[in-house]
C-alpha cells in the first residue's frame, strides 16, 4: 500500500471504513507517514458539474507529473447500486492510470459518520504517497461542508442558471471558499453570477493581507479554465495559505469526531446489554426526556468517584 | 407558551437552542406534554420549490382548522443575514395568523448539532399545541436526510429539469419517501420524471401489505395538487403509517445524539483544562493518531476502576 498499489489502497480503506480494531491499528501505523499530500476540497450544489471538474483537475495534475487520489462523497441510494458502481464510472479516462485512485463514499450507513470515513480514506491516500488528494462533496449538508472546510484549500463550484444566485448565496458555502469556480461558463448568466459573487465578497469585512478568493470561469466538459483553476490553487498555497495551514483545525475536527464516537462506545460497553434499549423505550413513551436519559446512562456508566 | 403564544414559543426555542441548562430543564418539563403533533418531513434538492410547497401545505392545513408549526432547516450564510431575516420572508401570507409559527434554523454554528436543535424546535411546537409540525430540509446532506427520515411521514419533493432524473435518484433520498411530490408539474419533463420515479419504485423488493409511495404532481406557486398531497399524507397515516409509527426510531436517534454530546462534555469536564488542546496539537504534529488520542483522553477522564 505504501508503494501506492491501487488494490492495496482499496483494501486498506475498506478495512478502516468498517471501523474494526485492525482498521484502527492501521491508522496508527499510517498516521505518522501522512501529512505530505496537498488536500483540495471541492464542493458546490448538485448539478454544478463537480465530478467533471474534478476529472479535469485530475488530468491537469497528472500532466504536471503529480499523483492524485480522489475521495468523492456521493449521496448514493440502494436503488442505484451505490458507490461501487460509481467508482468505475467515475474513473473514466483515468481507469488505466495507476497514478489516479478514486474512492466514492456513500453518505449513508457509514459507521462512525461520514466525516470520519472520508478523513480516513484521505489519510490512506496521503500515506500511500498521493501528491494531491481531492475531496469532493455536495456542499449543502452540514457534514459535507465541514469536510471541505478542513481541506488545505477549498474550492466552491457554482453554476449559472441552476437555481438563482440567491440560492447559491444561501447555500452556506460562500464563506468557506478560498477559490470560486463558475462552471458551465458558456451558459447564459455566467457573467452575472461572477458579478454577484464579487459583490458578495465585497461585503465581507476586509482584513489586512487577507486572501481575496479569485473567481475562475471554467467549462469542465471542454477543459477550458482548468489551468487557471490550478494556477489559482497554487497561488493560494504560495500566498501563505495551503498545505499545513489548516492542519490544526483538521486535527481538532478529527479528534472531536473520534472522541464522540469512542465516548458513546465506552458508555455502551460499561452498561448492561439492554440498558440503552430500555432507556430508548422510555424516551419513546415520553416517560423521560432525552437529556435526562443521556445523563442517567452516563452516570450509570461512569459513576463519579469518591 | 403552552397556550401557543408565538413570542413565548420563539423564546423557548432560543433558550433550548443555546444549549444552556435552563433549556434542558425546559425540555424536561415539555417532553411529557409532547408527542401529540403530526410530524411531516419535507425534503428535496435545492431549487425544488420546497418552501413554496410548505407554504401551500400550511394554508391547506389551516383551512382544515389545524394549527401549524414549521421548522425550516435553511442553509444560511453570514452574507445573507441568515435565519432571522428568513423567518419574516417565509411567513408571507401567514404573518398575521397566530395559528402558524415558522422557525428557520441555520445549518452552521448550532451547538450540539443541527439535528438536536431541529428536534428541540419541533418539540417546543408540539408541546405548544401545534396540530401539525412540518420540518423542511435540503435533502442532500446526511444530517438533513436523517432529520426527515425520523418524521411520521416523509415527503420527498423532486422537480423536472433541474438536474436530470439520475441526479434525483442519486440524491440518496429516494428510499426515505412515504410520498413523492413532482413539483413544477407544468414544466417540461414532469411526466417523464413521474415515470422514472415509478420505475425506480418498481425495482424495490415487494413486501406483503407494504405501502407504495404515491407520486403527487403539484404546482406549488398556484396551489394545484396541494389537496392531493394532503390526501396522500392522510392516506399514509390511515394505512397504519403515520403518527407514532416512528416514535421508537425517533427516540433512539435523539437519545444517541444527546448521549454523544453529553459524553464528550463529560470527558472535557473531567480533564485538565489544556488537555484537549495539547492532544490536538500532538495530532496536528502527527505524533499521535486521532484514535489513540481519543482513547487516551477517555482513559484519563474515566480511569477503569479496579
Return the sign of the alpha-carbon dihedral for residues A248, A254, A255, A260: positive
Mean pLDDT of B218-242: 87
Residue B208 has pLDDT above 80, yes or no: no
Closest chain A CA to residue B244: A284
Chain A CB contacts of B168 under 8 Å are none
In contact, B19 and B112? CB cutoff 8 Å: yes
**Out of A176-185, B113-122, B135-144, B218-227, which region has the weakest mean confidence (pLDDT)?**
B135-144
What band does B127 get if pLDDT is binned at 50, 70 and 90? very high
Among the partner-chain residues B32, B46, B172, the one whose CB lies closest to the CB of A163 is B46
Report CA dihedral (A207, A209, A211, A214) to the nearest 10 degrees: 110
pLDDT digits (tens, 9 = 90+) for B237-270: 887 664 555 777 778 888 888 888 888 888 888 9
Reported as type and span, the H/E element at residue B155 is strand B153-158
In contact, A133 and A69? CB cutoff 8 Å: yes
Query: Please, which residues have CB within 8 angstroms of residue B4's CB and are 6 or more apart in sequence?
Result: B67, B98, B128, B129, B130
Q: Which pTM was predicted?
A: 0.73
| Cβ <8 Å between A293 and B258 | yes
Chain A CB contacts of B31 under 8 Å are 286, 288-290
| Cβ <8 Å between B76 and A291 | no
Among the partner-chain residues A27, A77, A298, the one whose CB lies closest to the CB of B175 is A77
Q: Which CATH architecture has domain A6-244?
A: 3-Layer(aba) Sandwich (3.40)
Please tell me whether residue A46 adopts helix, strand or coil conformation. Answer: coil
ipTM of the complex: 0.76
Which string of b and e fits A98-123 if b means at least 16 CB within 10 Å?
ebbbbbbbbbbebebbbbbbbbbbbb
d(CA A288, CA B2): 19
What band does A132 get if pLDDT is binned at 50, 70 and 90? very high
| Cβ <8 Å between B263 and A258 | no
Residue B84 has pLDDT above 50, yes or no: no
Q: What is the DSSP secondary-structure string of A174-202?
A: GGG-SEEEE-STTSTTHHHHHHHHHHHHH
Highest mean pLDDT among A89-93, B33-37, B92-96, B213-217: B213-217
Among the partner-chain residues A251, A289, A292, the one whose CB lies closest to the CB of B283 is A251
For A244, phi then psi, to 5°, come to 85, -25
Mean pLDDT of A13-23: 82
- Percentages helix, strand, coil for chain B (3-state, rounded to 5) are 50, 15, 35
* CB atoms closer than 10 angstroms to residue B89: 12
Residue B133 has pLDDT above 70, yes or no: yes
Among the partner-chain residues A77, A256, A260, the one whose CB lies closest to the CB of B174 is A77
In contact, A99 and A133? CB cutoff 8 Å: no
Closest chain A CA to residue B163: A47
In contact, A267 and B259? CB cutoff 8 Å: yes
Angle between helix axes B290-301 and B247-270 (nearest 10 degrees) is 80
% residues pLDDT > 90 (chain A): 30
Chain B CB contacts of A144 under 8 Å are 140-142
Chain A CB contacts of B174 under 8 Å are 77, 79
Which string of b and e fits B9-38 if b means at least 16 CB within 10 Å?
bbebbebbbebeeebbebbeebbeebbebb
Chain B CB contacts of A256 under 8 Å are 264
Query: When comparing pLDDT for B229 and A302, which is higher?
Result: B229
| Cβ <8 Å between A263 and B261 | no
Give the minimum alpha-carbon distance from A167 to chain B in angstroms, rounded to a whole number. 8
pLDDT of residue A22: 85
| Cβ <8 Å between A79 and B45 | no
DSSP state of A222: T
pLDDT of residue B142: 65
Reported as type and span, the H/E element at residue A286 is none
Mean pLDDT of B142-157: 79
Closest chain A CA to residue B162: A162
Mean pLDDT of B185-206: 82
What band does B82 get if pLDDT is binned at 50, 70 and 90? very low
Alpha helices, DSSP H, located in chain A: 6-17, 21-30, 50-63, 82-91, 114-127, 142-149, 165-170, 190-202, 226-238, 247-270, 275-284, 290-301
Query: What is the average pLDDT score of chain A?
Result: 80
User: What nine digits make up the cell of B33?
Assistant: 406534554
Q: Which of B152, B172, B196, B297 to mutate to test the interface with A (most CBs of A within 10 A)?
A: B172
Mean pLDDT of B96-122: 75
Nearest alpha carbon to residue B46 among A104, A66, A161? A161
The phi-psi region of residue A133 (left if phi > 0; otherwise alpha if psi is between -120 and 50; otherwise beta) is: beta
pLDDT of residue B50: 85
Give the minimum alpha-carbon distance from A59 to chain B in angstroms, rounded to a whole number. 24
Highest mean pLDDT among A137-151, A276-290, B156-170: A276-290
| Cβ <8 Å between B266 and A145 | no
pLDDT digits (tens, 9 = 90+) for B11-27: 998 888 777 788 888 98
**Out of A224-233, B183-192, B205-214, B286-295, which region has the weakest mean confidence (pLDDT)?**
B205-214
Highest mean pLDDT among A90-94, A237-241, B161-165, B295-299: B295-299
pLDDT digits (tens, 9 = 90+) for A152-204: 898 988 888 755 444 445 445 667 788 999 999 998 889 988 988 888 787 76
Domain boundaries, chain A: 6-244, 256-301
Closest chain B CA to residue A162: B162
Query: When comparing pLDDT for B296 and B110, which is higher?
Result: B296
d(CA A211, CA A238): 11
Closest chain B CA to residue A113: B142
Amino acid at each position: 500500500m505504501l508503494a501506492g498499489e491501487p488494490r492495496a489502497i482499496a483494501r486498506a480503506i475498506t478495512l478502516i471504513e468498517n471501523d474494526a480494531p485492525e482498521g484502527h491499528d492501521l491508522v496508527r501505523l499510517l498516521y505518522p507517514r501522512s501529512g505530505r499530500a496537498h488536500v483540495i476540497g471541492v464542493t458546490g450544489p448538485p448539478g454544478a458539474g463537480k465530478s467533471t471538474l474534478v476529472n479535469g483537475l485530475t488530468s491537469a495534475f497528472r500532466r504536471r507529473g503529480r499523483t492524485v487520489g480522489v475521495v468523492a462523497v456521493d449521496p448514493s441510494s440502494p436503488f442505484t447500486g451505490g458507490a461501487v458502481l460509481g467508482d468505475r464510472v467515475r474513473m473514466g479516462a483515468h481507469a488505466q492510470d495507476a497514478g489516479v485512485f478514486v474512492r466514492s463514499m456513500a453518505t449513508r450507513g457509514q459507521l462512525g459518520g461520514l466525516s470520519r470515513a472520508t478523513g480516513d480514506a484521505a489519510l490512506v491516500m496521503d500515506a500511500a504517497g498521493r501528491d494531491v488528494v481531492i475531496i469532493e462533496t455536495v456542499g449543502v449538508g452540514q457534514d459535507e461542508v465541514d469536510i471541505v472546510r478542513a481541506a488545505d484549500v477549498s474550492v466552491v463550484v457554482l453554476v449559472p442558471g441552476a437555481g438563482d444566485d440567491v440560492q447559491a448565496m444561501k447555500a452556506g458555502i460562500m464563506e468557506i471558499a478560498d477559490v470560486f469556480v463558475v462552471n458551465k461558463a458558456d451558459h447564459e448568466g455566467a457573467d452575472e453570477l461572477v458579478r454577484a459573487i464579487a459583490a458578495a465578497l465585497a461585503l465581507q469585512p476586509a482584513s489586512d493581507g487577507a486572501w481575496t478568493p479569485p473567481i475562475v470561469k471554467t467549462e469542465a466538459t471542454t477543459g477550458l479554465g482548468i489551468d487557471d483553476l490550478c494556477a489559482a490553487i497554487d497561488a493560494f498555497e504560495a500566498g501563505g495559505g495551503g498545505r499545513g495551514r489548516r492542519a490544526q483545525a483538521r486535527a481538532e475536527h478529527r479528534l472531536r469526531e473520534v472522541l464522540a464516537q469512542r465516548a458513546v462506545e465506552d458508555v455502551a460497553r460499561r452498561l448492561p446489554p439492554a440498558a440503552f434499549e430500555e432507556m430508548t423505550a422510555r424516551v419513546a413513551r415520553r416517560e423521560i426526556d432525552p437529556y435526562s436519559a443521556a445523563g442517567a446512562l452516563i452516570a450509570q456508566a461512569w459513576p463519579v468517584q469518591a
